[in-house]
Structure 1
Amino acid sequence: MKTRLPLLLLFYFILSNVLAQTPPTIATFTAGMSRNPGFLTYYWDAKKGKIWLEISQFNTELLYYPTLAQGIGSNDIGLDRGRLGQEHVVTFQRSGNKVLLIEPNYAYRAISPDPLERRAVEESFAKSVHAGFEIVAEEGDNVLVDLTPFLLQDAVGAVQSIAQIKQGTYKLDPSRCALHLPRTKAFPKNTEFETIITLTGEQPGAYLREVVPTPTAVTMHQHHSFVQLPPLNGTIQSGTIQSGTIQSGPDAYQPRAFDPRIGYGGIEFFDYATPVSQPIMKRYISRHRLQKKNPSAAISEAVNPIVYYMDPGAPEPIRSALMEGAGWWNQAFEAAGFRDAFQVKLLPPDADPMDVRYNLIQWVHRSTRGWSYGMSIIDPRTGEILKGKVTLGSLRVRQDYLIAQGLVGKFDTDSSHVGEMMQMSLDRLRQLAAHEVGHTLGLPHNYLASTQGGGTGTPERFGRASVMDYPTMVAKVKGASIDLSDAYAKGIGIYDKWSIRYGYEQFTPGANEKQELDKIVRDMHSAGLSFLTDQDARPEGSVHPGTHLWDNGANAVDELRRVMDVRRVALTNFTDRKIPAGTPMAMLEDVFVPMYLFHRYQVEAVAKVLGGQSYTNALRGDGQPVVSTVPAAEQNRALDALLATLDPAFLAVPPTVLSLIPPRPFRYDANPREVFKRHTGLAFDPLGPPEAAVGMTLRMLLNPERCARLVRQKSLDGKLPGLNDVFTKLHNALLKTLTAQQPDYAGEIARQTERLYLDQLLKLATNKDIDGSVRATAHEALSQAKAHYSSSATSGSRYDYHRWLIAQYMQFPDRMVSAPAQSPPDGAPIDPGQEWLLPACDWEGR
C-alpha cells in the first residue's frame, strides 16, 4: 500500500497536467455567448467585450479589407465615410496551438501546371503575416481564437493620414476603443465587424479643429470585411487567356487582357512561367462578372445583372437625379449586347451597405466641398470586381448652384431663376453619378473626350464623348444674357459605349477573343475616338494640347476666346441681385469669384498648346499617329490668347462690384478659403483678383517643363516658337500696356503684372533644379530687361524698382527670393494636390 500511493499521486498529477493543456471544446468555451453563424462564424462575449472567431477552413483563400464606416468629415484629410482600404487575399494557417493570418504574394506568380515551377516563385518572394492568434478552444477540425485585438487596430491608417496632412501626431488609445455590435454581422458570403476607434494627440491642426468636437480625441468607426472568394481551378497557360480558364464551370469568370489604347484599371503581376520571347508582366482589366443568358444571341438578358443601390440618405430631387445619371450606363451595356444588364435601385431598408452583395452609391457630408470617389473591391488574383462603392460629396451641388447663380441669377424675388439654376445643378449631378459609377465599372478618366465626339443637340465642337472626362458647363452668350439650357450632356457618351464593349462584350462561342478585342479598339479609332488619362493631363507641365480637366471644345484656343466672352457678359451683369434679399452683402464675393475666374481652366488648356505635342498610346502596326508637334501657327495663336488674359482691361474688377463687397460680418469667416486673398486687411483688395489671375497665367505659361520643350523645339525646327520668342513677345505686350497707362487703376494693374513677370523670370533664372538652358534663357531675358529699363525711354521713377530688382539679381543671384503671386481661391479641389495621396480611385470636386 505504501508503494501504490506515490504511484497513484504521480498518475493524478500527470493526468491533471494533460487535462490542463487540452483546450476545451468550442461549445463549452462559448457557453452563454451569442453565436452568429455565417461565412465566418463568430461569438460575442458580452461579459468581456470580446469577439471569438470560429475557424473551420484552413489554407483556403478569402478576401479581407478594412473600411472607414464613419468618417471625420474633412475633405482635406480624406478620412471620409465609406472610404475603402486595400484588399488582401489571406488564408488561415495553423501551426500547433497558433493560427496565422497569412497573405500570399500575388504580385509574382508562375501560371503553370508544374507545381515545382510555382513553388520556386512562391519561395522567392516574401509573404505577409497580418496577425497571429492563440487557440483557446477546438472541436474536431474547428478552432476558436480571440479576434478582438486584430479588430481594435487602426486598420485604415488614420494615424498616418492625419500626420501626412500635418494635422498633428496621434496614436491609438485602446482604452477608448470598443466593438460596435449593430454593424457587426455574419452573412452567407461575408462576415463584417465594426469597431469604435479613438485616436488621441496634441496640437491638432486647423482641419481637425474644424470638424472634431474635441480635436485631441478623434473618434471614428472602422470596419473589417472578410469575404468569400470564387474558387480557382485550372491554369492560364503561358499567360494567354485563350488557352485555359482560371475558374471552372459555365459561370466561370474569365480575366480579360488590358490594352493601353482603351482605358481600364485592373491588376498586374509578373508571370515567371512566360517564355523569354514574351513579356513577363501580365495585365488584366478590372470588371464585374457579367454573362448572357443566351451567349449566341446578339442581345440577351444577363444571368445576373449588375445592380447598384442608392443611399436613401440623399434627399429629393437629388436622389432621383443621381439614380437617373447612374442608370445611363445601361445604354452602354446595351451597345455591348446586354438587355437591362445594368440597374439602379434604392437600397432596401433591411439591407446593410457594408454587405459585399450590394454595389453602393453613398451620399457623404463634409465640412467643405470636395472630391467624389468611385472605388471597387476587386479580387487581386483575377481583377474581378466584387463590389462597387461610389462616394458622392453632398456640398458639390451647392457649388454648382453657386456658379449658376453667378451666370444667370437675378433675385428680383427670392424665386427668380431658381428653377433654371437648380436644373443646371441637377444635370451636373446626373453626370457626376455616371462618372463615379464608371470608375467602379473599371474605367479611368478619359481627358481627350472633351475634344472628341458630340452629343444630342450639342454642336460637335463641344465634344462630350465620355462621362469619364471632367466637364465644365457650356454657358452660351445670347445677346446680353447667358443661356444654360445645354450646360451639361444628357446620357452616356459614345466613347463610353466602346469602352464597355471592350470590357464586357461576350463573344460567340469559338470566337478568337484577342482578335475581337483588337477589332473593337480599331473600330473605335476609326470613329475618331482615343484615350488619354491622368498622367497625360494633371501635371501643369503636361504635353498634349487636348488633355485637360474642366475644358470644352475641339480647339482650346477658340474655346478660351469664347469663355472670355461669357466671362465678359457675366461681369457686366454682376449686381447685388446675384444674392437673395436678406443675405449679407459680403457674401456677394463668393458668387463673384467663379465669375471673375471663369476662364481659369481654359487658360491651363491653352498653355498646353504652347510647346505641345499630340500623341497616342499607339501600338506598332495599328496605324495610329504616334507623336507630332503642334504647328507653329497654332502655338502662336495660343500665346496671343494667353497674353489677352494679361490685359489690364480684362483684369480690372468692374467699379460696380468694388462698391458692393464690404468686409465680412461678425460670425462669418473673415478669410474663407474660396475668396480672393488680399493685402489690404479686411477690405476687399481691388488688385487681389488681377494678381491671382496674372499669377495663374504666368505660372502655366512659364512652367519649367514647358519652357524646356520650347527651347528644344526651336533647335529642331526654327519655324516653331522658342523660349526667347515667348519672352520677347510677353515683354513687348506688357511694355505696351505699361507705356499706355496713366497712374490709375488700370495702370497699377499693368505695373503689378510687370512685377509678377519679373518675379517669374527670377524664379526660372535662379532655380537650380530646372533645365540649364531654361535658366540661361531667363538670364538673357533679365539682361535685356535691364538694358530696357536703363534706356532713356524708361528713365522715370516708375521703373526704379524694376532696375533695383534686376541689379540685386545680377549682384547676388544666390540670395534672390522670388515673391510669388497670391494664389487664386481654391477651385477644382479643396487643397490642390491631395488627390495624389489617396488610393487609386477618382477625385472630383470643381
Structure 2
Amino acid sequence: MREKAFLHHVKLFCLLILLLFIPVTVLSQKKKKKDTETELIKKDSTDSKKGKKYSDLIKKGTIKKGLFNIIQVKTDVYFEIQDSLFKREFLVVNKLSQVPFQINESGLNKGMNYENKVISFYKDTIAKKVWVKSYVPKVSSPKEDAITASVIDNFSESIIEVFDIETKNNDSSAVVIKVNKIFDGKQKSFNDVLNNIGLSSSVKSELSYIEALKSFPKNIVVKSQLTTSISEGGPALPITLGVTSNIILLDKTPMKPRFSDNRIGYFTEKHWYFADAQQAMLEKELITRWRLEPKKEDEERYLKGELVAPKKPIVYYIDPSTPKQWRKYIIDGVHDWQVAFEKAGFKNAIIAKEPTEQDLDFDVDDVRYSVITYAASPKANAMGPSVVDPRSGEIIEADIIWWHNVMTSLHSWMRIQTGAIDPKARGNKFSDEHMGEAIRFVSSHEVGHTFGLKHNMGASFAYDVESLRSKEFTAKMGGTAPSIMDYARYNYVAQPEDNVTVITPKIGEYDKYAIEWGYRWYGPNENETARLNEAITKHQNDPIYFYGEQQGATIDPRSQSEDLGNDAVKASEYGLKNLKRVVDNILNWTFDKDQSYYETGKLYIEAIGQWQTYNGHVLTNIGGIYLNTTVHGDNKQSYVPVPAAIQKRAADYLAKNVLTIPQWLFFNDITDKTNPLKDSPLGPYEYTPYTLSRGLQYDVIYSLFSDDRLLRMTENELYQRNKTNEKVFTVNELFKKMHQNVFLGTIQNKSLTILERMTQKNYVDVLIVSTNKLFEKTDAKKSIQIQETLQMPHLCSLDDAHMARNINNSFLKRVTEVTSDKKGELSKVLQLLRIKKSTGDQSTQNHYRDLIQRIDKALNTTTF
C-alpha cells in the first residue's frame, strides 16, 4: 500500500515538474522562432552571400531615379525594381551608337536598331531570385473562352535570364538585382549584338564595360562598349562597338490595332487570333502607325470635320552632327507631310526640329526621341525604320539613318536624268540650294517609311508618259508620280523643248490617301472596318490610288523601280534621247583643269547604267502580268496578261537598242580619255567598252529567255485561247522576232562585224546555258553581277515584308514546253549556220564554225 502511495506521489511530482517546464520550453521555442524571423527580415535587406545592405549600397554608390532606380557602386550596377513593375511588359531596344572603321563601310552605322524583344520580370521570394521571361506577343484569344488556357500553354514565355535578389529597399516595396552581366557582354540575353549584326565571334568581357546609365519615368538607357575580334585570313583585328540598350515600359492596354488591307501599302505585324466560336484560327496583320488621336475635349470637333491638334504630335529631332547647310531641307522634308495629316483631320501633327537647351536630356540613342541620325560613312543610302510595339503595331519611336554619301546617289540621278533639261544639274558639284532640294525629297521619302508606309512602286504608272512632258500637268500634280514612296526619281521623260521645271518627286495624292486611311481617328460609335473599306472602294478604279507591291523578280511591269509613266517603251525612248544628250556632253560637264578623268569615267558608267535600267523596264513587259489585289464583289481580274501589242513593242525596242549595241553609248570620244569607272575597295575599276557591252547585252538576253518568263507566256497562251479570242504574244513569236534580228546579216550573206558576231554568240550561249546542264556553269551569273554594279543606286535598304505574291509556275520545268522551244530554236540556228557557214569573210566563217560546234555539243547530235 505504501509502495503504491509512494509511486503515486512520485508520478504527481514528475507531472508537476513537467508542467513547470512546459511554459519555459514553449517560450524558448517561440523566442527561437521570433529570432529566426528577425534574422530572415535582416537577410531580406542583406545579401545572404556577401552581406550587402541596402543602406550601404546607397551610401557607397550613386543613384539615378526613374523607371528602375539605378544604383552604381564603382563598376557594379544594380536595378531597384518596384513590386508594381513585376509581370509588366517591357520592350528591350538595342541600337548601335558607335562603330569602328573596320565595319563602317559594310553599312553598320550609328543609330541602327538591330534587336528588339518583349520581356517581363518575375519575383521569386522562395528562391530569392528575379526571373526574366520573353515571349512573342502575336497571339490573342478572349479571356473568357475555354481555348485561352490552351493558348497560354502553347504560346508560353521562355526564361532568358535570372538574377539573385541582392537586397530590398527600406520599406520592402522593391528588390535590388545586380545587372552587369547583361550589359558588359558576359550574357547575350538582353543584348546579342554580334549575332544580330552578322559577326560570328564572341564578346571579350575583359575588354568590355558599361559606359553610361540613365533612368527616366518610362525607360532606362544603358550604354556599353563591347569588344570582339575578327579575322579575315590575316591577324585578328580588335573591334569595339558602342551599343545602347533601352528598356521601355509598355502601356498596360495596347493601342487599338488597325488591320491591314493589301490594297494599300503599310508595314505590318502578324497576329494570330483564337476563339471558341472559330472553325479555324484567324490570321491578321496589324499596320504599324503612331498613336495619333484628338484630345478628349476636341473629339466632337474632330468628328465634325474640323482640324484639331493631336493629343501627342509626332516629333523628329535633327542629329546635331548634321551639317548645318542641310538641316533646313531635312526639316522641310518632314513638314511636307503636314498636308497629308490634315487630310486625316490633324493639324500640326508632325514636328521636326533641332534639339535646344530645353531638351536637357536629349540623346540620339534614347527611344524617347525620334532622331534623323547623320552617319559619316562611304555608304550612299538612307533608311527609315521604326521601333514598334508588336502587340498592337504602335510605332513608339522612329530612326531615320542618313548616310553622308547619299548625296552621291542624288548627284548621279540628277545629272543623268535631268542634266539634259536642267543646267543646274550638270557640274561635278551642285549648289547647296540644288542639292538641298534633293535632300528634301529623300527626307520626305524616308519619313514616309517611319509613318508605316511601304514603297508603292506602282504609283508612277498612273501618269501618262506624254503628261510628264507637260509643264502645266507636272506643275499641277507636283512631281513624277502620285506617291513619293515610289522609286520615281527625276523626270527623264521631259525633253529640253518642253520647259518642264517641276522635276522632283513630291508628296502626292496617294500619300494623302494612305495617311488618311491609316491615321483617321474613329469614334466609339463608328464602324471603323466599314469606313476603312469604303475609303478604298471609293478609289478602287482610279489609277492615282493604285498600290503596287515592291517585287523581287518583277512580274507586274506597272510596279517597277526607277521607272516613269504608263508606257515603258515610250518613256525609255524619251529617256534615251536625253541620255544621248548627256553622253555627248560628259567631257564638258566633268571638265576640271589639271584633274584626272575620274569624274568623267564615273559619270560615263552611270549613263551606261541608266541605259540598262531602261532595258529592264521594257523587258518586264514581255511575259508580264498585271497583278491586281482583288476582293469579292469588285468585278476586277486578279491576273491580266500584258496586252500582246505592248509585248511586241517591247521586243522591238530590245531588238533595236540592245541586240544592236548603241555605238554612241559604248564607242565614242569619251573612250579616248577614260574607260567607264566603278569604285571598288581596291580603287576605281575600269570596264572596257567591248567587255562591258558584251556582258550587259548577255544579261538582257539571258533574262529575256528565262524559264519563268517563257512559262508565263505559255500559261498566257493556254489561258487566253481557252477563255477568249484575244490576240496573245507567244514564245514562238518571240523567238522568231529575235532570230530575225540577231541573224539578219547571216541571212543576207554579209560579213559580220565584231559586234554582230558578239550578239550571235551571246544569243546562242544563253540558249545553251538554259538547255544543257553541262553548260550551267557558264558565266551567266557573272554578267548579272556586272549589271547590278552598274544600275543607278537605290534608296532605302528596308525589307518590305511580303514584297510580292508568290506565284509558282516553275514546277518540273524539264517537262514543260520551255525546253522544247529552246532546243527548237537552237536547231533552227544550227540549220541556218550549216547553210551559211561558207559565206562572209574569214572571221565570219570562223565564227560560224565555232557556233556549229557549240550547238552540236549542246544538242549532242548531228541531226535534229
TM-score under structure 2 length normalisation:
0.80
CA distance in 1, matches of 2:624, 2:392: 38
Q: Does 1:68 align with 2:96?
A: yes
Q: Residues 111-510 of structure 1 correspond to what in structure 2 (within 5 A)?
A: 111-114=142-145, 117-139=147-169, 140-153=172-185, 157-160=192-195, 163=198, 169-181=200-212, 184-203=213-232, 216-232=237-253, 253-273=255-275, 275-276=277-278, 280-293=282-295, 294-297=298-301, 298=305, 299-348=307-356, 350=360, 351-369=362-380, 371-405=381-415, 424-452=434-462, 457-459=472-474, 463-476=480-493, 478=495, 485-490=501-506, 492-508=507-523, 510=525
Offset from partner CA, 1:411-469 (integer Å, 9 cap, x none): xx999857867655433322211111111111111111111258995447985111111
CA distance in 1, matches of 2:93, 2:197: 20
Q: What is the aligned counterpart of 1:27 among 55, 58, 61?
A: 55
Q: Does 1:654 align with 2:684?
A: no
Q: CA deviation at 1:505?
A: 0.9
CA distance in 1, matches of 2:836, 2:749: 18
Output the amino acid matched with 2:503. A
Output the amino acid matched with 2:215. A
SS in 1 for 2:544: coil
SS in 1 for 2:80: strand
Contact 1:409/1:418, CA 8 A, preserved across alignment? no
Offset from partner CA, 1:7-42 (integer Å, 9 cap, x none): 99xx99999997779534423234311111111221
Q: What is the aligned counterpart of 2:538 among 506, 523, 527?
A: 523
Offset from partner CA, 1:284-319 (integer Å, 9 cap, x none): 221111112322331222222211112232214322
Q: Residues 496-645 of structure 1 correspond to what in structure 2 (within 5 A)?
A: 496-508=511-523, 510-533=525-548, 536-540=549-553, 542-645=554-657
Q: CA deviation at 1:83?
A: 1.2
Are the structure 2 counterparts of residues 58 and 793 from structure 1 closer, same or farther at C-alpha, using a change threshold of 3 Å?
same
CA distance in 1, matches of 2:90, 2:677: 56
CA distance in 1, matches of 2:593, 2:503: 27
Q: CA deviation at 1:689?
A: 2.8
The count of residues paired between Structure 1 and Structure 2 equals 751
Are the structure 2 counterparts of residues 352 and 764 from structure 1 closer, same or farther at C-alpha, using a change threshold of 3 Å?
same
Q: CA deviation at 1:524?
A: 2.7
CA distance in 2, matches of 1:741, 1:303: 79
Q: CA deviation at 1:323?
A: 1.3
CA distance in 1, matches of 2:676, 2:555: 42
Are the structure 2 counterparts of residues 537 and 106 from structure 1 closer, same or farther at C-alpha, using a change threshold of 3 Å?
closer
CA distance in 2, matches of 1:445, 1:504: 18
Contact 2:490/2:505, CA 8 A, preserved across alignment? no
What's the counterpart of residue 72 of structure 2?
A: 44
Contact 1:613/1:628, CA 8 A, preserved across alignment? yes
Offset from partner CA, 1:479-499 (integer Å, 9 cap, x none): 5x9978433123x11001111
Are the structure 2 counterparts of residues 458 and 72 from structure 1 closer, same or farther at C-alpha, using a change threshold of 3 Å?
farther
CA distance in 1, matches of 2:273, 2:521: 26
Contact 1:452/1:463, CA 8 A, preserved across alignment? no
CA distance in 2, matches of 1:555, 1:340: 39
Offset from partner CA, 1:166-199 (integer Å, 9 cap, x none): xx75332112111112xx3112221000111112
Q: CA deviation at 1:76?
A: 6.8
* Greater percentage in helix: 2
Are the structure 2 counterparts of residues 295 and 407 from structure 1 closer, same or farther at C-alpha, using a change threshold of 3 Å?
closer
Offset from partner CA, 1:738-776 (integer Å, 9 cap, x none): 6789889xx222222222222221221135987222233
Are the structure 2 counterparts of residues 75 and 439 from structure 1 closer, same or farther at C-alpha, using a change threshold of 3 Å?
farther
SS in 1 for 2:658: coil
CA distance in 2, matches of 1:730, 1:706: 15
Offset from partner CA, 1:686-738 (integer Å, 9 cap, x none): 21331243133224323331121122222334632222322222222111256
Q: Does 1:701 align with 2:743?
A: no
Are the structure 2 counterparts of residues 327 and 676 from structure 1 closer, same or farther at C-alpha, using a change threshold of 3 Å?
farther
Are the structure 2 counterparts of residues 676 and 755 from structure 1 closer, same or farther at C-alpha, using a change threshold of 3 Å?
farther
Q: Which segments of 5 or more consecutive residues in structure 2 lack a partner in the other structure? A: 1-24, 722-726, 777-809, 840-844
What's the counterpart of residue 781 of structure 2?
A: none
CA distance in 2, matches of 1:187, 1:97: 27
Contact 1:463/1:554, CA 8 A, preserved across alignment? no
Are the structure 2 counterparts of residues 485 and 420 from structure 1 closer, same or farther at C-alpha, using a change threshold of 3 Å?
farther
Are the structure 2 counterparts of residues 190 and 158 from structure 1 closer, same or farther at C-alpha, using a change threshold of 3 Å?
closer
What's the counterpart of residue 777 of structure 1?
A: 821
SS in 2 for 1:300: coil
Q: Which segments of 5 or more consecutive residues in structure 1 lack a partner in the other structure? A: 206-213, 233-245, 247-252, 678-684, 814-846
Which structure: larger Rg?
Answer: 2
Q: CA deviation at 1:279?
A: 5.9
Farther off after superposition, 717-726 or 310-319: 717-726
Q: CA deviation at 1:477?
A: 5.9
Q: Could you say what the CA RMSD is over the residues aligned between the two structures, in angstroms? A: 3.6
CA distance in 2, matches of 1:721, 1:365: 51
Offset from partner CA, 1:772-822 (integer Å, 9 cap, x none): 222332222222222222113665222222122212223399xxxxxxxxx
SS in 1 for 2:692: helix
Are the structure 2 counterparts of residues 272 and 418 from structure 1 closer, same or farther at C-alpha, using a change threshold of 3 Å?
same
Are the structure 2 counterparts of residues 788 and 328 from structure 1 closer, same or farther at C-alpha, using a change threshold of 3 Å?
same
CA distance in 2, matches of 1:284, 1:20: 48
Q: Does 1:107 align with 2:138?
A: yes
Contact 1:451/1:462, CA 8 A, preserved across alignment? no
Are the structure 2 counterparts of residues 102 and 531 from structure 1 closer, same or farther at C-alpha, using a change threshold of 3 Å?
farther
What's the counterpart of residue 55 of structure 1?
A: 81
Are the structure 2 counterparts of residues 706 and 53 from structure 1 closer, same or farther at C-alpha, using a change threshold of 3 Å?
same
Contact 1:88/1:380, CA 8 A, preserved across alignment? no
SS in 2 for 1:68: strand
Q: CA deviation at 1:263?
A: 1.5
Output the amino acid matched with 1:180. E
Q: Does 1:759 align with 2:775?
A: no
Are the structure 2 counterparts of residues 285 and 225 from structure 1 closer, same or farther at C-alpha, using a change threshold of 3 Å?
same
SS in 2 for 1:790: helix
CA distance in 2, matches of 1:401, 1:287: 32
SS in 1 for 2:67: coil
What's the counterpart of residue 6 of structure 2?
A: none
Q: CA deviation at 1:409?
A: 6.8
CA distance in 2, matches of 1:757, 1:469: 34
Are the structure 2 counterparts of residues 279 and 602 from structure 1 closer, same or farther at C-alpha, using a change threshold of 3 Å?
farther
SS in 2 for 1:525: coil
